[in-house]
Amino acid sequence: MNTFSQVGAAPQTRLQPLGPEPGRGLPKGTFLVAAGAFLLTLALLLPLYVHDRVAPLPAAASFDLRMIDQDAAYLDTATWTRVETAELEQVTRVEASAHGSDWSAWEMTVNTSASDQVIDHWSRRVIVDRETGRAVNCCGEHVNGDRAVRQAGLVLYWPPGVPEGGHSFYDAEVRSAPSVEFDENDEVAGVPVRRYTQTVDRTQVPESARDVPAALFDPGAEGTVRANRWLTAERTFWVEPVTGMVVNMAESRSETLRPQNGSGEVALLDAELTLADGQVSGYAEQARARSLLLRGLDRWAPWTLGPVGMLAILAGLVTAWRARTAQDEETPAETESEVEKAPEKVPVPEPEARRP
């Protein structure tokens, strides 16, 4: 029975488990390779994707630009007398809201006043391309209700990281966009900036005709005459180049009245406007913080994360190679040991032939 039971039994074989042994960890170097690949991905995404979405102008914003002159002169149109050494204030209010994914709609009002007396007021709606900072002809744009205007050029901010020259800035009062010229590199509140100037030659302000006393141009004359407002201005902008933010502004403006049919000219306004000191320091600090963020995303992070990621991948590959080499050196000894411990095969006798 024992002999026949051994003959009929199938030979026993050792089954090798499929896949890694239970409880065995990841191959050495895997974590370093994974970490390096993650860092390389960040090095590409930060400048190519994240930076391009952080750099544009915000879609929604609300702020005021307050410019003052402590020694302005203007013509009081209530009494038609000239006022000297007056404190003049010009406030530009901006209410911006998102308009699609790439544009922003700006509702702007400009109020000029002296001693609680309104000297001038006008409003404007402009669609701003958030990437270029330029006006877009679209969607109900107007200047003082005139929807036939076609605004062009920069509205307030410069595009981030653009070259020095080749810009125009839209002047809503004269309905044109004179060029702004780069002067020199400068510094405002410790922030490196570019200084630009814009000159508006003597230009008649559209839709400014009004009736004024004829005696303004011809003493002793009676009645009224129709006169237009003429503007001459020179503006200076201090722009932080990485962000395109305007951190300081100054404007020298001269306004006059000139009769439509006749000669003569009367000074209407003379002012040297500058941003209030508190605003300058505040805008400079905002530009400094935003500049650090954009430079970090565009330059520092890629040049730091990229090399570190490459080193991590190389270190992981070297670690994996060394572990594999050590494993291959140990394999022959383990095989010989297993062969020595393996049981000898018992010869199986062939069954005897049956006798007749």
CA distance 130 to 277: 27
Closest-CA residue to 206 (of 144, 158, 256, 263):
144
Neighbours of 346 (CB within 10 A): 7
- DSSP one-letter code for 46: I
pLDDT tens sequence across 219-239: 888 899 999 999 999 999 999
Please tell me the predicted confidence (pLDDT) of residue 1. Answer: 46
CA distance 305 to 301: 6
Residue found under tokens 């990621």? 309
**Torsion sign over Cα 179, 183, 187, 189:** negative
Closest-CA residue to 3 (of 345, 344, 350, 343):
350
Task: Return the structure tokens found at 63.
Answer: 């702020």
Contact 242, 295 (CB under 8 A): yes
3-class DSSP state for residue 5? helix
List alpha helices for 46-178, DSSP H: 51-54
Contact 268, 75 (CB under 8 A): yes
The contacts of residue 150 (CB under 8 Å, 6+ apart) are 137
List beta partners, residue 136: 127
pLDDT tens digit at each of 356 positions of the chain: 444 444 444 455 555 555 555 555 677 778 877 887 887 788 787 777 777 788 888 899 999 999 999 999 999 988 899 999 899 999 999 999 999 889 999 999 999 999 778 899 999 999 999 999 999 999 999 999 999 999 999 999 999 888 888 899 999 999 999 999 999 999 999 999 999 999 999 999 999 999 999 999 988 888 999 999 999 999 999 999 999 999 999 999 999 999 998 888 999 999 999 998 789 999 999 999 999 988 877 777 777 877 887 887 888 788 778 777 877 777 665 555 555 555 555 555 555 555 54
Q: For the whole model, what pTM was predicted?
A: 0.77
Task: Return the structure tokens found at 85.
Answer: 């050494």
List alpha helices for the chain, DSSP H: 2-8, 30-45, 51-54, 277-295, 301-341
Q: Round to the nearest angstrom and report the end-to-end CA distance of the chain.
A: 22
Please tell me the predicted confidence (pLDDT) of residue 242. Answer: 93
The CA dihedral of 241, 246, 247, 249, to the nearest 10 degrees, is 130
**Beta-sheet pairing, 135-136 with 117-129:** antiparallel
CA distance 245 to 234: 20
Q: Write out the H or E segment, with its range, that includes residue 252.
A: strand 246-259
Give strand ranges (E) for 115-190.
Answer: 117-129, 135-136, 142-143, 167-168, 179-188
